[in-house]
Chains A and B, each alone.
Chain A
Amino acid sequence: MDAPQDQFAIRVRDLVVGFGRQTVLDHLSLDVRRGEILGLVGASGGGKSVLMRTIIGLIPRRGGTIEVMGQPTGGHGRGAATTWGILFQQGALFSSLTVRQNVQFPLRENLVLSQELMDEIAIAKLEMVGLRAQDADKYPAELSGGMTKRVALARALALDPPILFLDEPTSGLDPIAAGEFDALIKTLQKTLGLTVFMVTHDLASLTTVCDRVAALADGKIVAIGPMRELLQSEHPWVRAYFHGKRSQMLQHEMR
């Protein structure tokens, strides 16, 4: 009966967001299907992060509606952490807590459970993102870029949220680490049945892990679909993005 609604994890309709006189998102609509990995591309400063932050409620909107898992959002309450996990660009780990405490933080704040189980869950999450139990007592300042992202991912997944937001997950990682991170996201998405919303510039991630790619230009979604379709798109900005010199070279390599 409510199948069409059930099909979508996130539905954004006519979203308008602006700062001062500037309108960043102009009547934007976007659907994210359940269980897919959606990549969002757009010019730097073009509103990708703004869109993500508006969906999770960090930026107020001027108009439009956002539905997450069939529920309209408005004011993020205590339940937010169980609905979605967010991987911020710089990791945003709490620098005064150890890795273990960082991962336990959402558990501790949202659930009542024994310390023993909490420790085990934290280690389980860390191992699931490819870290070792020995790393659990380090502080964020002692971690490399790739490890920071992994810990942040473990923290985002601490409560097994159905939706995962990633803000440029592979930026600042070397190609090998970035490839491993992509594979990790794909694996976790399969095992945990996640819906992933990924803001990225990494063409390799877009091609290898994203089920669909949405292109944001002039405050609107100008093209959406599997990577193959986007490459055929006639929109000038999308053409420039995927058929520029850098992109061409990458695609050529991949072929």
Chain B
Amino acid sequence: MNHEPLLLATPSGDVLNLRPEGPWTAANVVMLETLSRSVGADVDRSRAVTLDMSGVSALDTLGAWVLEKLSRRAASSGRSAEFVGVADHFSGLMDEVRQVNRHTPAPTAAPNPVLARLGDLGKSTVGAREDVTIFLELLGALFMAVIGVLRRPRSLRLTSLVYQLYRIGWQAIPIVALITFLIGAIIAQQGFFHFRRFGAESYTVDMVGILVLRELGVLIVAIMVAGRSGSAYTAELGSMKMREEIDALSTMGLDPVEVLILPRVAALVIALPILTFIGSIAALYGGGLVAQFYGDMGPAIYMARLHEAISVTHFEVGILKAPFMALVIGIVACSEGLRVKGSAESLGRQTTTSVVKSIFLVIVLDGLFAVFFASIGM
């Protein structure tokens, strides 16, 4: 018995006799392809082809298809091709293979690259409009849900709200405090290092205080919350969507916005200002430690300088922005979650989109607030 496939080609007159031998199976696919290619030219030249199958010791779909392809190659140009000596236990497979690949669908023509680009541009423009529409729709639905809750306070999902507050507020405190502490310390160190050159070290405290309270505290915390809790919201709602849990809720006459989204967004709106406050204090504390050990400025002087440099307005500017940023993060995270389609890949894509989009919007919003506060003189 042969352990390697062979293909013997013996021309007799106008007829080409092909005699495959040995195991024509997927394990030998490299040799099968070489063999069938090597006789290709002979097949094209002869007027008729006979495939003598009596020497084949093993055959599977792949081997059968390679042989069938040879016979079709001959038959395609009007010449005759036939199989002889097909063993009984292979005949079913050969018959089956003869049926397949008969209707190759017309290959779709490659689109014009310029048109394709234009098409993509158009699609993303429409997509951007759709994004805005979805955002506004969800904002409106949330507003309606809030009105519903105000009219019937018992319909508020208090358990869910408290649980979300615990998850995204309480559990986030250590990491938020740690990171803002480090940021405050780094800014203070940079301030002392660079301001020392022109003897303006004491203004470091002004810089740390104003920067942290107005901008950095809320921005860092919002970005962290978008990455930590926004992604979790998208993934949760997305997998609920995938497993039809959200449809199940709707069929029970419950509004998914009221049951799922309102508690989540409300928890964010409550938690983000608190986290911002904690984060700002941690950053000021970090700055104070650096002032003492790096800038040779005692805590009493640091506090006194801080007292002079900052006012409640700075604190208000920072903390006022927090709920709006929370609203944006929550709506983006929830709407991306609801846009998840059936596949696992889609869940991953929407989660990424959710984080990227909410961080982008948080920064844009921060810019708009800067303009707004500057023009009202805060």
Interface residues of A (CB under 8 A from B): 82, 95-96, 107, 110-114, 117, 120-121, 123-125, 127-128, 132-134, 139-141, 157, 159-160, 190-193
B342 adjacent to A95 (CB under 8 Å): yes
CB-CB under 8 A from A120, the residues of chain B are 65, 69, 101
CB-CB under 8 A from B62, the residues of chain A are 117, 121, 160
Q: Does B92 sit within 8 A of A, measured CB to CB?
A: yes
CB-CB under 8 A from A114, the residues of chain B are 33
Known interface pairs A141-B343, A193-B89; A117-B33 also in contact (CB < 8 Å): yes
Q: Does B248 sit within 8 A of A, measured CB to CB?
A: no
Supply 17 further A-B pairs (C-beta < 8 A) apart from A125-B61, A160-B26.
A95-B344, A96-B344, A113-B33, A117-B62, A117-B66, A120-B101, A124-B61, A127-B99, A132-B103, A133-B101, A134-B105, A141-B342, A141-B346, A190-B92, A191-B95, A192-B61, A193-B89
A5 to chain B, nearest CB (A): 19
A112 adjacent to B26 (CB under 8 Å): no
A133's partner among B27, B66, B103 (CB-CB below 8 A) is B103
B96 to chain A, nearest CB (A): 5
A100 to chain B, nearest CB (A): 12
- Nearest-neighbor residue (CB-CB) of B30 within chain A: A112
Indicate with 1 or 0, residue by residue over B221-251, a CB within 8 angstroms of chain A CB atoms.
0000000000000000000000000000000
Distance of A113 Cα from B65 Cα, bound (Å): 13
Q: Does B144 sit within 8 A of A, measured CB to CB?
A: no
CB-CB under 8 A from A121, the residues of chain B are 61-62, 65
Distance of A112 Cα from B331 Cα, bound (Å): 49
Distance of A113 Cα from B344 Cα, bound (Å): 29
B345's partner among A96, A157, A190 (CB-CB below 8 A) is A96
B96 adjacent to A128 (CB under 8 Å): yes
Q: Does B341 sit within 8 A of A, measured CB to CB?
A: yes
Distance of A113 Cα from B69 Cα, bound (Å): 15
- Nearest-neighbor residue (CB-CB) of A123 within chain B: B101
Residues of B133-154 at the interface with A, using a CB-CB cut-off of 8 Å, are none
Distance of A190 Cα from B342 Cα, bound (Å): 36
| B interface majority secondary structure | helix
CB-CB under 8 A from A96, the residues of chain B are 343-345
CB-CB under 8 A from A117, the residues of chain B are 29, 33, 62, 65-66
B30 adjacent to A133 (CB under 8 Å): no
Distance of A134 Cα from B106 Cα, bound (Å): 10
Distance of A110 Cα from B33 Cα, bound (Å): 16
CB-CB under 8 A from B211, the residues of chain A are none
CB-CB under 8 A from B96, the residues of chain A are 128, 191
B343 adjacent to A95 (CB under 8 Å): yes
Distance of A182 Cα from B78 Cα, bound (Å): 39
Residues of B53-70 at the interface with A, using a CB-CB cut-off of 8 Å, are 60-62, 65-66, 69
A123 adjacent to B100 (CB under 8 Å): yes
**Top 3 A-B residue pairs of the complex, sorted by shortest distance between their CB atoms:** A141-B342, A160-B60, A95-B343
CB-CB under 8 A from B69, the residues of chain A are 120
CB-CB under 8 A from A133, the residues of chain B are 101, 103-105
Q: Does B93 sit within 8 A of A, measured CB to CB?
A: yes
B301 to chain A, nearest CB (A): 60
Which of A96, A113, A141, A191 has its CB near the most chain B CB atoms (within 10 A)? A191
- Nearest-neighbor residue (CB-CB) of B69 within chain A: A120
A82's partner among B27, B95, B101, B345 (CB-CB below 8 A) is B27
- Nearest-neighbor residue (CB-CB) of B342 within chain A: A141
- Nearest-neighbor residue (CB-CB) of B93 within chain A: A191
CB-CB under 8 A from B99, the residues of chain A are 127
Could you show 20 A-B contacts with beta carbons less than 8 Å apart? A82-B26, A95-B342, A107-B26, A111-B26, A111-B27, A114-B33, A117-B65, A124-B61, A124-B97, A127-B99, A127-B100, A128-B96, A128-B100, A132-B103, A140-B343, A141-B343, A160-B60, A190-B92, A191-B95, A192-B93
B30 adjacent to A113 (CB under 8 Å): yes
Distance of A177 Cα from B150 Cα, bound (Å): 52
- Nearest-neighbor residue (CB-CB) of B97 within chain A: A124
- Nearest-neighbor residue (CB-CB) of A93 within chain B: B343
Distance of A217 Cα from B352 Cα, bound (Å): 48
A160's partner among B30, B33, B61, B343 (CB-CB below 8 A) is B61
A95 to chain B, nearest CB (A): 4
Distance of A112 Cα from B62 Cα, bound (Å): 13
CB-CB under 8 A from B101, the residues of chain A are 120, 123-124, 127, 133
Distance of A190 Cα from B93 Cα, bound (Å): 9
B100 adjacent to A159 (CB under 8 Å): no
Residues of B35-81 at the interface with A, using a CB-CB cut-off of 8 Å, are 60-62, 65-66, 69
CB-CB under 8 A from A159, the residues of chain B are 26
Q: Does B25 sit within 8 A of A, measured CB to CB?
A: yes
- Nearest-neighbor residue (CB-CB) of B63 within chain A: A160
- Nearest-neighbor residue (CB-CB) of A125 within chain B: B61
